[in-house]
């Protein structure tokens, strides 16, 4: 039985075995207290070891980080916030953790330090809470789509498609398992292709997802995507997970409704299923806020912020309206944006965050971007200048979703591929879906880690994925 379940039991004489990792051990005159955690919950169970119940020798091995099994009976707890504790009769030590060497001693560790020991950080309260919230959100994703008659489509990870330049790619090369060919200077000679074809790791499953929508009507992908981002921002990873619904017969308006309904569902799901973890992360955030200047402190707590988003309509405005608002802002007039604002620019994160955090103070859906800054597959508006694109912007994050109604007119799509210099032969399979039985459709991509960032209140994307892959980390 895991600690989460045990903590909900009533005291009894029945003998129980509880296994986990020691968080702390406190020894006083005739008794030792062991806080044990097994990752099933943010809460520890307290083991009470009365004098003589366990040998001195064994007790010495019970140090922070050690893995043990405690056997005993559940008794009422005098401590705050827990109703039961374990009166310990015996302890088995599975694995010790030398206090001189184990890095996670009970004190506050910086997130930077914990990033360097990503193999151990899930044992901290903060990271175990984040991983449980991440799990719940992943579950929410599948639950939402399943409840709404979407089919889960698995799109290729290794692909010849470059998704029209959504990001820099990682090239896939082949290497024989034994005796790889060597270059003259003795280095491994990677073959430059995959069985004679140029391939890369997928940057987005969208184009293949669209093929699914053209047959099954409603599909979604949820898989890893790879971009050789060398930007080192707090919002970009080289390997991240993307959720991409594609829906036949949906137009831009439906796409916005889906994006809003879906994100709200996921946030509500996490609030409902991870209340304890979110409360813990909220407290952590409050401590962090105290170190900030008064005017920079958040007005809402994490839970309040999450509730607010689920209970209020997202603001919906066009790109052109957004540009006008930005142009009229004091920040622009005083020349305080690093990137100057004018119609036609690709909005920078500073502009997006100003709109969301300073102006509207809620999530914003921006639509109808200039065609020149968006991908070729987005449906042209009547004016011929803008496309039916939409980006969803979240407070504290900026862009969380990018999507659009897709161009369904074969001739127009062909024209756009030529304009942007894409060779017809390279995406003949995509073009065929517009040649045969084309249908209006729309979809979007949500960066899963950006959603986890928002729900956990963390501020660096490296802290919401178990094994962050960035230009600096390649351990795993
Ligand atoms: P950004 O402007 O933040 O670089 P993007 O416009 O390049 O994002 P899209 O191609 O629209 O990204 O991908 C869809 C979604 O995937 C984005 O809205 C974002 O949530 C997420 N995303 C994109 N790149 C990354 C990345 N490197 N790491 C994590 N998430 C990402
Ligand atoms: Mg990008
Ligand atoms: Mg973008
Ligand atoms: Mg985008």
Strand-pairing partners, residue 194, are 197
Centre of ligand 1 from the C-alpha of residue 54, in Å: 54
Distances (CA, A) of 363 to 263, 330, 355, 360, 465: 11, 21, 9, 8, 23
Q: Which of 169, 399, 450, 464 to mutate to test the pocket of ligand 1 (most atoms within 8 A of CB)?
A: 399
Q: How confident is the model at residue 164 (pLDDT cuts 50, 70, 90)?
A: low
Banded model confidence at residue 165, pLDDT cuts 50, 70, 90: low
Q: List, for residues 186-235, the tens digit of each pLDDT value.
A: 888 776 677 778 889 999 999 999 999 999 999 999 999 999 887 789 99
CATH class belonging to 123-151+252-463: alpha beta
**pLDDT(166) > 70:** no
Residue nearest to atom 11 of ligand 1 (CA): 402
pLDDT at 111 over 80: yes
Closest atom of ligand 1 relative to the 403 alpha carbon: 11
Extents of the domains making up the chain: 3-106, 123-151+252-463, 174-199
3-class DSSP assignment, residue 123: helix
Q: Mind listing the pLDDT tens digit for each residue in 276-326? A: 999 999 999 998 888 888 777 778 899 999 999 999 999 999 999 999 999
Tell me the longest C-alpha to C-alpha distance in the chain: 85
Q: What is the dihedral of CA 259, 264, 269, 275, to 10 degrees?
A: 140
Q: For ligand 1, atom 2, which residue shows the shortest CA distance?
A: 399
What pLDDT score was predicted for residue 174?
80
Shortest-distance ligand to the CA of residue 206:
1
Per-residue pLDDT, averaged over 76-90, amounts to: 90
Measured from the alpha carbon of residue 398, the closest ligand is 1
Alpha-carbon separation of residue 344 from 153, 250, 374, 405, 413 (angstroms): 35, 27, 11, 20, 21
pLDDT digits (tens, 9 = 90+) for 448-460: 999 999 999 999 9
Q: Atom 26, ligand 1: which residue's CA is nearest?
A: 236
| pLDDT value at 474 more than 70 | no
Rounded distance from Cα 421 to ligand 3 centre (Å): 21
Using the mean position of ligand 4's atoms as its centre, give its distance from the Cα of residue 447 in Å. 10
Ligand nearest to the CA of 346: 3
Q: Which of 205, 242, 390, 460 to mutate to test the pocket of ligand 1 (most atoms within 8 A of CB)?
A: 242
What ligand is nearest to the CA atom of residue 452? 1
- Residue 56 C-alpha to ligand 4 middle, in angstroms? 60
- Shortest-distance Cα residue to atom 25 of ligand 1: 236
Ligand 1, atom 3, lies closest to the CA of 399
Centre of ligand 2 from the C-alpha of residue 166, in Å: 7
Looking at this predicted complex, what is its ipTM? 0.99
Burial environment of residue 172 by CB neighbours within 10 A (0 to 12, 13 to 18, 19 or more): middle
Closest protein CA for atom 4 of ligand 1: 236
Please give the number of the atom of ligand 1 that sits closest to the Cα of 398: 3
DSSP state of 295: G
pLDDT in tens, 358-391: 999 999 999 999 999 999 999 999 999 999 999 9
d(CA 20, CA 25) in angstroms, rounded, equals 13
Mean pLDDT of 174-197: 78
- Ligand 1 atom 21: the closest Cα is on which residue? 447
Q: Work out the average pLDDT over 246-261.
A: 98
Pocket of ligand 1 (CB under 6 A): 166-167, 227, 229, 235-237, 240, 242, 399-402, 445-447, 449-450
Closest residue CA from atom 27 of ligand 1 = 236
Supply φ then ψ for residue 415, to 5 degrees: -60, -45
Instruction: Please give the pLDDT value at position 199.
Output: 87
CATH number for region 3-106:
2.40.50.140
Q: What's the chain's average pLDDT?
A: 93
Give the predicted TM-score (pTM) of the model: 0.95
- Which atom of ligand 1 lies at the shortest distance from residue 399's CA? 18
pLDDT (mean) for 150-174: 85
- Cross-strand pairs, 195: none
Nearest to 236 by CA among 166, 305, 140, 289: 166
Section 85-95 average pLDDT: 97
Q: For residue 229, which atom of ligand 1 is closest to its CA? A: 27
Segment holding 330, helix H or strand E:
helix 330-333
Q: What is the pLDDT of residue 107?
A: 87
The rounded Å distance from CA 400 to ligand 3 centre is 9
Round to whole Å and give the CA distance between 34 and 106: 13
pLDDT-derived band at 48 (thresholds 50, 70, 90) equals: very high
pLDDT of the residue at 426 = 86
Residue percentage of the chain with pLDDT more than 70: 98
Q: 475 or 129, which is more confident? A: 129
Give, using CA atoms, the residue closest to atom 30 of ligand 1: 447
Sheet holding 171-172, edge to edge: 158-159, 199-201, 171-172
Residue range 324-362, pLDDT digits in tens: 999 999 999 999 999 999 999 999 989 999 999 999 999
218 is written with which tokens? 């409603």
Task: Report angle CA 47, 48, 51 to the nearest 5 degrees.
Answer: 140
Q: Is the pLDDT of residue 476 over 70?
A: no
């Amino acid at each position: 039985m895991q600690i989460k379940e045990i903590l909900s039991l009533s005291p009894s004489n029945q003998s129980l075995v509880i296994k986990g990792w020691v968080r702390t051990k406190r020894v006083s005159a005739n008794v030792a207290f062991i806080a044990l955690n097994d990752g099933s919950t943010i809460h520890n169970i307290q083991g009470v070891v009365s004098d003589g119940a366990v040998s001195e020798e064994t007790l010495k091995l019970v140090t922070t980080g050690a893995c043990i099994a405690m056997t005993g009976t559940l008794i009422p707890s005098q401590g705050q916030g827990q109703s039961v504790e374990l009166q310990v009769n015996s302890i088995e030590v599975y694995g010790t953790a030398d206090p001189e060497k184990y890095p996670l001693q009970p004190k506050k560790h910086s997130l930077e330090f914990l990033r360097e020991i990503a193999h151990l950080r899930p044992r901290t309260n903060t990271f175990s809470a984040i991983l449980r919230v991440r799990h719940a959100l992943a579950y929410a994703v599948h639950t939402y789509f399943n409840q709404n008659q979407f089919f889960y489509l698995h799109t290729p990870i290794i692909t010849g498609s470059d998704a029209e330049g959504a990001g820099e790619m990682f090239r896939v090369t082949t290497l024989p398992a034994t005796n790889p060919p060597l270059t003259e200077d003795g280095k491994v000679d990677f073959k430059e292709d995959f069985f004679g074809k140029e391939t890369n790791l997928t940057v987005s499953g969208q184009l293949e997802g669209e093929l699914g929508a053209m047959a099954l009507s409603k599909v979604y992908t949820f898989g890893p995507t790879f971009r050789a981002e060398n930007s080192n921002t707090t919002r970009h990873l080289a390997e991240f997970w993307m959720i991409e619904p594609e829906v036949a017969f949906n137009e831009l308006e439906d796409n916005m409704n889906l994006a809003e309904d879906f994100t709200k569902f996921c946030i509500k799901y996490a609030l409902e299923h991870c209340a304890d973890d979110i409360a813990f992360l909220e407290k952590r955030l409050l401590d962090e806020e105290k170190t900030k200047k008064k005017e920079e402190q958040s007005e809402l707590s994490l839970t309040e912020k999450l509730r607010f988003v689920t209970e209020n309509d997202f603001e919906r405005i066009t790109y052109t309206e957004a540009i006008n608002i930005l142009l009229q802002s004091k920040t622009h007039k005083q020349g305080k944006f690093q990137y100057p604002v004018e119609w036609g620019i690709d909005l920078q994160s500073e502009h997006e965050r100003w709109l969301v955090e300073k102006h509207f103070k809620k999530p914003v859906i921006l639509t109808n971007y200039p065609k020149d800054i968006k991908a070729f597959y987005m449906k042209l508006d009547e004016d011929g200048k803008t496309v039916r694109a939409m980006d969803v912007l979240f407070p504290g994050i900026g862009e969380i979703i990018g999507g659009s109604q897709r161009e369904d007119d074969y001739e127009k799509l062909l024209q756009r591929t030529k304009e942007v210099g894409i060779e017809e032969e390279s995406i003949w399979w995509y073009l065929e879906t517009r040649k045969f039985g084309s249908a209006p459709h729309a979809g979007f991509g949500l960066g899963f880690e950006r959603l986890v960032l928002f729900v956990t209140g963390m501020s660096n994307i490296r802290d919401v994925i178990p094994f962050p892959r960035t230009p600096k980390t390649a351990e795993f």
